[in-house]
Chains A and B, each alone.
Chain A
Amino acid sequence: MPSTSGDDEVHLPRQAAAGCIASFESLARRHQVSVLQYVRHLVRHGGDAEDIVQESLVRAWRRIGTYDPRWAFSTWLFAIARRSWLNQVRSTRRRRRRESTAAVDPIMAHGPAAVAIATERATRLWDVAAAELSEPEFSAVWLRYVEDRSIAEIASVLARPRATVKVILFRARRRLEPLVRDLVAWSD
Chain B
Amino acid sequence: MPRPEQARRDEGRANGSLASVLRREAVADRPAFSEPLHDRIMRRVTTARWSRPGPKPVLEPPPARRLGDVIAAAVSAAAVVVALLMTASPDGGGASRGMRATVPTPIDGTRAAESPSAAVTASGDVLPTIDRLPTLEEIEESVNHGVASLAASLFEVPDWTALAELDITAGLEATAVP
Binding site for B on A (CB under 8 A): 1, 19, 21, 24-25, 28-29, 32-33, 36-37, 40, 50, 53-54, 57-58, 61-63, 65, 124-126, 129, 140-142, 144-146, 151, 163, 165-167, 169-170, 173, 176-177, 180, 183-184
User: Within the complex, what minimum Cβ distance (angstroms) separates B76 from chain A?
Assistant: 47
Binding site for A on B (CB under 8 A): 4, 7-8, 11-12, 14, 17-19, 21-23, 25-27, 29-34, 37-38, 40-42, 44-46, 48-49, 51-54
Flag if B45 contacts A61 (CB, 8 Å).
yes
Name A's interface SS. helix
Q: Write 15 A-B pairs (CB below 8 A) sorted by A numbering.
A: A28-B38, A28-B45, A32-B33, A37-B26, A37-B30, A40-B31, A63-B53, A124-B29, A145-B19, A145-B22, A146-B22, A169-B12, A173-B18, A180-B17, A180-B22
Flag if A183 contacts B21 (CB, 8 Å).
yes
Give Cα distance in the complex from A40 to B25, angstroms. 14
Q: Which residues of B sit under 8 angstroms from A36, Cβ to Cβ?
A: 31, 34, 37
- Using A61-B45, A165-B12, A167-B8 as known contacts, say yes or no to A50 and B21 having CB atoms under 8 A apart: no
Q: Which residues of B sit under 8 angstroms from A29, Cβ to Cβ?
A: 33, 38
Flag if B48 contacts A170 (CB, 8 Å).
no
Flag if B33 contacts A146 (CB, 8 Å).
no
Closest 5 CB pairs of A and B: A169-B12, A125-B25, A146-B26, A145-B22, A58-B44
Flag if B49 contacts A50 (CB, 8 Å).
no
Flag if B11 contacts A166 (CB, 8 Å).
yes
- Using A32-B34, A166-B8 as known contacts, say yes or no to A62 and B48 having CB atoms under 8 A apart: yes
Q: Which residues of B sit under 8 angstroms from A145, Cβ to Cβ?
A: 14, 18-19, 22-23, 26
Give Cα distance in the complex from A166 to B5, angstroms. 11
User: Within the complex, what minimum Cβ distance (angstroms) separates A18 from chain B?
Assistant: 11
Taking A126-B22, A145-B23, A184-B21 as given, write out 5 further A-B residue pairs in contact, using a Cβ cutoff of 8 Å, ordered by the A residue number. Answer: A54-B40, A151-B11, A165-B12, A176-B22, A180-B18
Q: Which residues of A sit under 8 angstroms from B4, Cβ to Cβ?
A: 170
Flag if A177 contacts B26 (CB, 8 Å).
no
Give Cα distance in the complex from A183 to B24, angstroms. 12
User: Within the complex, what minimum Cβ distance (angstroms) separates B14 from chain A?
Assistant: 5
- Using A124-B29, A146-B23 as known contacts, say yes or no to A53 and B12 having CB atoms under 8 A apart: no
User: Within the complex, what minimum Cβ distance (angstroms) separates B151 from chain A?
Assistant: 61
Flag if B21 contacts A58 (CB, 8 Å).
no
Q: Which residues of A sit under 8 angstroms from B27, Cβ to Cβ?
A: 1
Q: Which residues of A sit under 8 angstroms from B41, Cβ to Cβ?
A: 28, 32, 53-54, 57-58
Q: Which residues of B sit under 8 angstroms from A169, Cβ to Cβ?
A: 12
Flag if A126 contacts B8 (CB, 8 Å).
no
Give Cα distance in the complex from A40 to B42, angstroms. 20
Q: Which residues of B sit under 8 angstroms from A19, Cβ to Cβ?
A: 49
Q: Which residues of A sit under 8 angstroms from B34, Cβ to Cβ?
A: 32, 36, 50
**Closest A-chain residue to B51, C-beta based?**
A62
- Pick from B26, B33, B37, B52: contact of A50, CB below 8 A: B37
Give Cα distance in the complex from A142 to B38, angstroms. 23
